[in-house]
Structure 1
């Protein structure tokens, strides 16, 4: 039997454009912190990270990580970078997680 593979996509296009979040920082943090079945050893074997320009793709076995826990890991990353007061984690669809500003500033309103 082959295990089903589930992909999570963490999208941070706006934050990448502003220079706030870097994909290599997020990947290194998740590799250091994430656990599968209460073990970082299993996580190193079963999780694969792919760096896209404005997002990070995480591949895992079907039941290794649930979306709720994945969102929690991203929230912890934002707390670690002291960005939790400015950015919120939103779930889009079944496998996509996006980062959105809490109070976005529109440049047209200042004029």
Structure 2
């Protein structure tokens, strides 16, 4: 995992002019993902330390939060996957043809 400064250094080495033109909104996205990763790892560490000693209600809330966090991340991942597939289709040099749909009467 790279820090924000390491990410900037990496991208500046790619972009010789050292502009944000190529990164655009992704500079903020990558920075936010780094912060999210740190926050999730901290939460997982705390969960590991405290889950067994928690009350039944506390354990329920922890499981609920884990499921909700996982669902939100999966939703984000699915959106990104769709965007990546769309970009790949647009950049493909081989035309793709959809199969005709049969209309039912």
For normalisation by structure 2, the TM-score amounts to 0.27
Structure with larger RCO (C-alpha < 8 A, sep 6+): 1
Choose between structure 1 and 2: higher strand proportion.
1
